[in-house]
Amino acid sequence: MTHREYMVLFICIVIAATGGLIVLVIVVIKKRKSKLSVAPETNVRANVKRKIIKKHNYYICFQFPDGTDKVLKVEPEIYKEIQENETGTLFYKEHIPFMEMKGFEMMRIENKTI
């Protein structure tokens, strides 16, 4: 085999491996979405412990009444609406290790004058 033939073979192997990796990623993503779609929606009272931004991704850390924390990836619009130390009802779906936020309803405190 000539050097050129080895290079063509190498390029074909790299392309095949890359294609296989892409297919694997697609399968994993579909499997994750499938598991979350059948998971029951849960709601729990939670406190917004902190907000995190990492590499253009937005996360909110919620603390549950039992003291456990859950960090959820959220859309930028939701990230802007929710403030640290707010308390409310967190709606989410979970199929370990995946978790998806469905909503957060803040508790409203009514001002009453006596």
What pLDDT digit, counting tens, does each position of 22-71 carry? 766 666 666 655 655 667 888 889 999 999 999 899 999 999 999 999 89
Residues 45 and 34 in one domain: no
Q: Which two tokens stand for residue 95?
A: 């199929």
Residue type, 44: V
DSSP state of 67: S
Give the model's pLDDT for residue 13: 85
The answer to whether the CB of 62 falls within 8 A of the CB of 46 is yes
Residues 59 and 93 in one domain: yes
Residues 45 and 27 in one domain: no
Q: Which helix (H) or strand (E) holds 87?
A: strand 87-95
> Rounded to an integer, what distance in angstroms lies between the CA atom of residue 99 and that of residue 23?
23
Residues 34 and 77 in one domain: no
Residues 10 and 28 in one domain: yes
Name the 3-class secondary structure at 53. strand
Residues 8 and 26 in one domain: yes
Give the model's pLDDT for residue 113: 43
- Count of domains for the chain: 2
Look up the domain containing 47 and give its range: 41-106
